Structure 1
Amino acid sequence: MIWLRAKAGVTAQQSFRHHYIPKFYTKRWSGEDYKLTEFSRPYKELISKRVLPVQTGFADRLYELKGAPASAAQQVEDEFMSPVDSDAALASEMLENADPRINTDSKWRSAWSQFLITLLMRTPKDLTVLAQIIEEDWARDFPRFEQKYSASRKPDDPATLQEFIDQKDPDYIARWTIDEARALMSHDQLGQQLNNLRWFVLTTTSDAPKFLTSDRPVVMSDTLTADNSYLYLPIGPRLLFVAVTNAKAEQRIKTWPSAKLVDETNRLVVLQASKYVYGADSIAAEFVEGHYGKPGPKSFMERLRERRNERAKLRDTA
């Protein structure tokens, strides 16, 4: 199957409230009151409350990093994220209903893969880490660029490269962060790796605990290419999307007791939460209390930052 980039579409009116956890996704935990339970800890105590999907998992002007052009930032939401989420909503229904198109139609398979990628890097904290990555890369490369600038500098040009940048593009880090975020969310190689995995959806038994989710809901291995690679995403209180590399891994996961599978998935989903944990009800409050804010797996962006720093060190010592 091929990997497809999301196509940009212009909307008539730009939006400013950006849901980094899409409403269609959190809606899957909603009850008859159309609400789900939101767990958070703004201060010391864990708080749980019933909220509508539209009331949680958002940040106003999320992509308008200080210095980034407002129009460019809004394009990320209106021309990129919105179509991604719309297609993913349809793809999630196909997964839930075992619609064969999710395996045979590259459009829908790629739509779901791209949605998974965006979930790995779209929270405010993830964008902050991305900005730090760019700043660190720039700081390492700056001396080399400074030498090139000095060698080619014209008499009327500013004396230093930094002065030149400050005059021409003072907000370059913010602009680069937005551009890089969009490029990463359309990463061809990662998208193709996800497309190539074995996909299935597990439905847990009624006597097992319910799945939780969070604003960092994707649980995955360090790589997607090793034999034991995996990716989990709860897609409802009783549904878990799973992607693995081979039939042996699929069979192993399918034979796990439901309670064990839910407990381990929930533990990781809560540990890696950035700000919010979600459930269909408040029954899991004690479980969330026991894991929320504790040291957990590094986020995808944090791991990316470590890998880039390691490569830079190897390059510098070569």
Structure 2
Amino acid sequence: MTSNPPTKHHYIPAFYLRRWAGGDGKVTEFTKPRHDIVARRIMPDRTGYQERLYELKGFEPSLAQQVEEKFFKPLDTWASNALTMLERHGHQAPWDSHSRSAWTRFLLSLLLRCPEDIEAFREWWHEDFSRTDADAEARYQAARGAEDPETFAEFLAGQPLGIKERHQFQVFYSLVDHDSVGGKINEMDWRVLQSPPAAPAFLTSDRPIIRTNGLDQEGDHIALPIGPRLLFIASHDRGFLDGVLRTNQIALVKECNRQVVEGASRFVYGMDQNQARFIQNRFGRTPQPRLMESIVQRRRDEAARQAK
């Protein structure tokens, strides 16, 4: 760990946004503070972040940023290398298990690392941390010393904040590294679509992933704009992918842009202001359902069933 670790934690990494940068090194950032969008040119590392987003509470300052330093920094570095391969080689990228998994982990991270994701997960974790069951309580009673709290739930509730936070992010890591979901994406057919010159440029946002509700059925897919002229798309359904490559490419770009812009929370990004009217009319109109929300709700439901 560095003596002064960075506290500016990007949930939309700068390496990704740089694909939309112009000759000045800047992207066009769109926000909508009220009724009208506001556009400005900005360096990619000056947007898509929140101060201390992944900070471990209850830790010394020199250790509090280790989620960013030890998890997200290497994750994004490996993903940056994978993105370069996609740009250079498209469908024929020379993947190995490490580079392919690196790209999959990046896709999953974009679904789990935004501010409201971390807030929802942290809230659930701290309410769930001291929840126990009869077996755990029985084991605790068998080992409890005279000075220990009367119940295991009380023992857990009294643990230092730093311990709760450390365990919280260990569970968070397991979501990003989820073997089942990650394995499905790794095993999909991966394609890179290059849009024609007549098509508008792809836009991106702080909710850039385009996905179906599942990944197993016919037509299910996951996609991500990876530059003004490139779209990454993956599916188990080769017929669907072949159809995507044959469809009207201008209409496809517009549909991708619609989903990315309508799903945005705070930011939309582009090369320039050429699509400002499109963005004005659609910004945040259909907020993207967050994967973390469904994970937290499912775990709450499981806890409620077990409590009956």
Find the counterpart in structure 1 of residue 123 from structure 2.
132
Q: Is the 8 A contact 2:28 2:42 kept in 1?
A: yes
**What SS does the aligned partner of 2:5 have?**
coil
Q: Is the 8 A contact 1:101 1:108 kept in 2?
A: no
CA distance, structure 2, for counterparts of residue 41 and residue 187 of structure 1: 34
What does the per-residue CA deviation read over 1:116-173, in whole Å, with 9 as the maximum and x for residues that have no partner? 111111112111121233245447x346455764565432223444543454324554
Find the counterpart in structure 2 of residue 256 from structure 1.
247
Change over 3 Å in CA distance of 1:291–1:177 after alignment to 2: farther
RMSD after superposition: 2.7
Aligned pairs (5 A) from 1:38-53: 38-53=29-44
Question: Deviation at 1:240?
Answer: 0.3
Find the counterpart in structure 1 of residue 205 from structure 2.
214
Please, which of 156, 176, 192 is the counterpart of residue 167 of structure 2?
Answer: 176
Question: Deviation at 1:94?
Answer: 1.2
Q: Is the 8 A contact 2:199 2:249 kept in 1?
A: yes
What does the per-residue CA deviation read over 1:178-229, in whole Å, with 9 as the maximum and x for residues that have no partner? 2222222222222221110000100111111211111221111122222321
Q: Which amino acid aligns with 1:53?
A: P
- Taking only the aligned residue pairs, the percentage that are identical comes to 38
**Unaligned ranges ≥5, structure 1:** 1-9
Normalised by the size of structure 1, how large is the TM-score? Answer: 0.85
**Unaligned ranges ≥5, structure 2:** none
1:236 aligns with 2:219: no
1:224 aligns with 2:215: yes
Please, which of 263, 279, 289 is the counterpart of residue 280 of structure 2?
Answer: 289
1:32 aligns with 2:23: yes
Q: Which amino acid aligns with 1:37?
A: T
Find the counterpart in structure 1 of residue 85 from structure 2.
94
**What SS does the aligned partner of 1:97 have?**
helix
CA distance, structure 2, for counterparts of residue 204 and residue 80 of structure 1: 34
Find the counterpart in structure 1 of residue 53 from structure 2.
62
Question: Deviation at 1:278?
Answer: 0.6
Find the counterpart in structure 1 of residue 259 from structure 2.
268
**What SS does the aligned partner of 1:168 have?**
coil
**What SS does the aligned partner of 1:202 have?**
strand
**What SS does the aligned partner of 1:225 have?**
coil
**What SS does the aligned partner of 2:226 have?**
strand
**What SS does the aligned partner of 2:217 have?**
coil
What does the per-residue CA deviation read over 1:264-299, in whole Å, with 9 as the maximum and x for residues that have no partner? 211221222232111111122222222223233311
Find the counterpart in structure 1 of residue 189 from structure 2.
198
CA distance, structure 1, for counterparts of residue 162 and residue 78 of structure 2: 33
Find the counterpart in structure 2 of residue 14 from structure 1.
5
